[in-house]
Structure 1
Amino acid sequence: MNAYLDLMGFARQTEALAQISGRLGWDQQTVMPRGSNAQRSEEMAAIEEVLHARRTDPRLGEWLEAAEAPDETAAANLRELRRAYARNTKVPARLAAELARITPLAQSAWEEARAAGHVPDFLPWLKQMIALRREEGQAIAAGGDPYDALMADYEPETDSAAVADTFARMRPRLVALRDAILGADTPPALTGHFPRDGQMRLSRDLAQRFGYDLTRGRIDLAVHPFSSGSGQDVRITTRVAEDDPFNCLYSTLHEVGHGAYEQGVDAAHLLTPIGCGASMGVHESQSRIYENQIGRSRAFCHWLYSAMVQEFGPLSLPDADSFYASANRVTRGYIRTETDEVQYNLHIMLRFDLERALISGSLAPEDLEEAWNTRFEADFGYPVDKPANGVLQDVHWAVGLFGYFPTYALGNLYAGCLYQALRRDLPDLDTHLGAGNPGPATEWLRERLHCFGALRAPRATIRAACGTEPSAEPLLDYLEAKFRALYRL
């Protein structure tokens, strides 16, 4: 028992330092002065060296060997610590520090290249990041697939072959539904001018309605919305376009899903290995169910229409039903984060295939833009118009998140399962949503999923919440029912 207590005391300090490192990343993307990048790079490298030393400390191996689990919580903590220790001891300290050092610089270069629309400005940094992540993946995999090793950081218990098989089974129904919808009449878009302050007021209201605690969090603006932190300090960001309020409001709901999940983990797990989401796929399921199944439901859109009129005055859309249709428009477009539910996973499949090729070396960074543009036109039927709408639209590769993209699609799959169970257990959900009250849905998610953190492995987390094995069918059935009714197919 002493070994377990010593181990957990050490792990809590390590996690506290990791949270500080995360706060530096949040600061960089929100309020840090632009001229501070070089110094921040050194700061991030320094703290990563400290973290790597702690995560590979030989005492961890000794404690893990001697520790015994008195209960389910201890067993889960030991599971996560053993997995992390086995991974971290394979990664050289030099490599961990270099990744931390280069990430802020690569992100800054991506932001500038994206603004200028000039991919070659970013290529030297992308090459470095790919080389470092490939080296890391090879070290962790120890002869296995480096991409699978990287993906395991975000979604344990799966591999690229399983994901590719899932995508192959999902694609035909998604493409058929997309093609049918695009052959029908498209609902009018919401147009007008929506001042930034009004969008942010409404965003804060939405966040609190969905259960995000602003006494333990905050909402800021960033180029690419994200969430950061856990426990008692969970921060989210959004972005504002004054001609497109859906961008801000639904980005906010998406990040609220992440934030509410982290805030909802049982306080007893604070700063422990299981005091966070079970995986990025499970995390994404919370974002997608908040943003789409709940936030874009007919009932909630009826309330949101009234809230928008109250905040901004008369809208270009005449009634709540046309507002609901507009919030769920399926149209041609380029941006993953702004696309509809039907086409979203097709965007993920493109990225998944390209990043696997980058890590394997079968696709050179110099050829990435052409490969992206060719694949996009083949999948979506029209050419990319500019890099910011193509290969430069996402921050993920700039910050080395190779293996992260498939978790978005897995999150959609998990969200479909959760929503099916939520509807089963809360037959009066629409009544609450129509009154602007998603509280019962959030409470259901807290009791069934949030409070446990990473107590269970990812698929077991979804299985325990839903009572059924995760599969793609609930998501595909939901999309078929919703959009065939909406487009009268």
Structure 2
Amino acid sequence: MTAYDKLMSFQRETGALAQVAGRLGWDQEVMMPHGASEQRSEEMAVMESILHARRTDPRVGEWLDAVDDGALDEEGTAHLRHIRRSYERGLRVPAKLATDIARITSRAHRIWAEARADDDFAAFAPVLKEVVRLKREEGAALAAGGDAYDALLDDYEPGATAAQLSGMFGALRPRLVALRQAVLDRPQPASLQGTFDEQAQMMLSQTVARTFGYEMARGRIDKAVHPFSSGSGDDVRITTRTNALDPFNCLYSTIHEVGHAAYEQSIRSSYRFTPLGQGVSMGVHESQSRIYENQLGRSRAFTSWLFTRMTELFGDLGLDGPDAFYAAVNRVQNGFIRTEADEVQYNLHVLLRFDLEQALIAGTLEVDDLEAAWNERFLSDFGFPVDKPSDGVLQDVHWSAGLFGYFPTYSLGNVYAGCLHKALRAAVPDLDSQMVAGDLAAATAWLSENVQQYGGLYEPRDVITRACGEAPSEAPLLDYLEAKFGAIYGL
């Protein structure tokens, strides 16, 4: 075996172990007995210790040094880029710190879930302080004298910096704020009426998932407090949630997570357990979930098909036909919850979190002041006060999981989705006539061919540039939003 062969064999074993560790996280969210949380935190800490040891194994460095880079093809070069980056970053983080983070975030998840249910931020604050302390330490170690937040962000969007994203988001904000104000000044369309059996919602979510190309033979749908997608290759699982008064929450959470899952299911099978065998970044990943959920799932064409399915299942929806249903799906209204926000306001929720978590990592904001800072910023951005912690600082799982640097990739994913939607429309001009019939095959095939199959082969921005024929920009997203909501609200 050559040095490259040995390196890749070792990497595939590490990749398989990482999948097992991910399955522990899925089980913790979906099926684990409540009393098992302390034991699970130790199990996950041990798994992280093993994975960290493998990622920083001295043999990896020796194999990397021995490989003749010039003799590698495109895929081999990409493999080395990922492995070298992971190895160098792993060496900067002490094994004890990596293990401590895994242990505390597993424990913090349970405490967050209980505090959220009780609307008690004070119950969550002590463990969050520990998470923040450890993530500051990790960021400093990774940055090696540079910016700690950028170092954490690099885990989710390689090559991006907070300054770059702030520039893009700064261009988004004025037009979003203006559109939000114009829409909220107009009369609101009617909303869905009635109660909707939650078991029936889950049945319909299965139908919708299949319609968007989710292969149930290689996946499953369960319920969780916070919907998510987990796994890759032949085992990609998603979760959703139900609300008897709001079936859209279930259906669009499902479509969103199917976007993530379809990406993982579509990656070339030859990349399994290698660095190329997963989505290249969270921004690109989010572009898939958001284009599935919004540009496709909330389109006039698809909602026409969905209206028929829902009336068949639930009867009268209290709406006068598919056009009223389309307006209800895209209704812009004040709300607290990011995951339930409409397309116009969603990014404003993300930018709030982006700014707050930068301050937490920089040390200019402490956990004791976080709830007040959140409430003040929310009132400034949205014009009404937060009513309770579960509608504010406790609503998201991310900080309990130590995912600092993750939030900005949601808005970056929206920007990428806007670019991809523009290119998709040009490539499939009769897309609407297909979606009216509930046929998403051409849309999902285009995304699979131009984005998903490549996994980690290309750098994140390059994936979007190759698919769209031009570098990513916020303009297509803003143009799409203004056109869509201008038509719905008669602006």
Do the structures match in fold with TM over 0.5? yes
1:438 paired residue number: 440
Identity over aligned pairs, percent: 61
What SS does the corresponding residue of 1:89 show, helix, strand or coil?
helix
Quote the Cα distance in structure 1 between the aligned partners of 2:314 and 2:429.
33
Give TM-score scaled by structure 2 length.
0.99
**Correspondence for 1:250:** 252
> Which residue matches 1:293?
295
Q: What is the aligned counterpart of 1:282 among 265, 268, 284?
A: 284
Given candidates 128, 148, 160, the residue that maps to 2:150 is 148
* Residue 196 of structure 1, aligned match among 195, 198, 202: 198
**Pair 1:11 & 2:49 matched:** no
Deviation at 1:318, TM superposition (A): 1.7
Q: Quote the Cα distance in structure 1 between the aligned partners of 2:456 and 2:342.
A: 30
How many corresponding residue pairs?
489
Residues in 2 aligned to 1:68 and 1:293: alpha-carbon distance in whole angstroms? 44
Q: CA deviation at 1:68?
A: 2.8
CA deviations 1:124-161 (Å, max 9, x no partner) are 01000000111000000001111000000000111001
DSSP 3-state at the match of 2:238: strand
The letter for the 1-side match of 2:373 is A
2:4 alignment partner, SS class: helix
Matches within 5 A, 1:3-402: 3-69=3-69, 70-402=72-404
- Return the alpha-carbon distance in structure 1 between the equivalents of residues 47 and 372 of structure 2: 37
Stretches of structure 1 that go unaligned for 5 or more consecutive residues are: none
Describe the SS at the equivalent of 1:220. strand
Query: How big is each residue's C-alpha offset from its partner over 1:394-451, in whole Å with a ceiling of 9 and x where there is no partner?
Result: 0000110000000000000000000000000000000110001111100000111111
Corresponding position: 1:469 with 2:471: yes
Q: Per-residue deviation at 1:479?
A: 0.3
Looking at structure 2, the residues matched to 382 and 68 of structure 1 have their Cα atoms a distance apart, in angstroms, of: 60
Determine the C-alpha separation between the residues in 1 that align with 2:65 and 2:75. 18
SS of structure 2 residue aligned to 1:134: helix
Residue in structure 2 matched with residue 447 of structure 1 by the alignment:
449
Q: Aligned partners of 2:6, 2:475: CA distance in 1, in Å?
A: 45
Residue 424 of structure 2 corresponds to 422
Aligned partner of 2:217: which letter?
T
State the distance in 1 between where 2:65 and 2:174 align.
Answer: 48
Offset, 1:191: 1.7
SS at match of 2:239: strand
Distance between the aligned counterparts of 2:466 and 2:210, measured in 1?
Answer: 27
**d(CA) in 1 for partners of 2:459, 2:175:** 29
Moved more, 310-319 or 448-457: 310-319
Q: What is the distance in 1 between the residues matched to 2:364 and 2:128?
A: 15
Give the counterpart letter for 2:206 in structure 1: R
Gaps of 5+ in 2: none
Q: Counterpart of 2:208 in 1: which secondary structure?
A: helix
Runs of 4+ in 1 over 2 A off after TM superposition: none
Q: Give, in angstroms, the shift of residue 327 of structure 1.
A: 0.2
Helix, strand or coil: the match of 2:221? strand
Question: What SS does the aligned partner of 1:342 have?
Answer: coil
**Counterpart Cα distance in 1 of 2:48 and 2:271:** 23
Inter-partner Cα distance in structure 2 for 1:133 and 1:68: 36
SS at match of 1:236: strand
Shift of 1:315: 1.2
AA matched with 2:188: T
Aligned-residue offset at 1:294: 0.2
1:409 is matched by which residue type in structure 2? S
* Cα separation, 2, equivalents of 1:271 and 1:338: 34
Residues of 1 paired with 2:80 and 2:464: CA distance? 21
Query: For the residues of structure 2 that align with 1:68 and 1:238, how far apart are their CA atoms?
Result: 46
SS in 2 for 1:407: helix
For residue 67 of structure 1, report the CA deviation from its aligned partner. Answer: 1.3
The alignment partner of 1:219 has SS state of: strand
Separation of aligned partners in 2, 1:46 and 1:348: 33
Aligned partner of 2:31: which letter? Answer: V
The whole-number CA distance in structure 2 between the counterparts of 1:200 and 1:324 is 21
Deviates further, 124-133 or 187-196: 187-196
* Equivalent residue, structure 1, for 2:490: 488
SS at 1:353's partner residue?
Answer: helix
Partner of 1:180, secondary structure, is helix
TM-score normalized with structure 1 length = 0.99
- Matched letter for residue 124 of structure 1: P
- Give CA-to-partner distance per residue, 1:196-250, whole Å, 9 cap, x none: 1111111011111111111111000000000000111100000000110000000
Q: Does 1:404 pair with 2:401?
A: no
The whole-number CA distance in structure 1 between the counterparts of 2:58 and 2:182 is: 59
Describe the SS at the equivalent of 1:456.
coil
Give SS of 1:218's match. Answer: strand
The alpha carbon displacement at 1:89 in A equals 0.6
Shift in Å at residue 313 of structure 1? 1.3
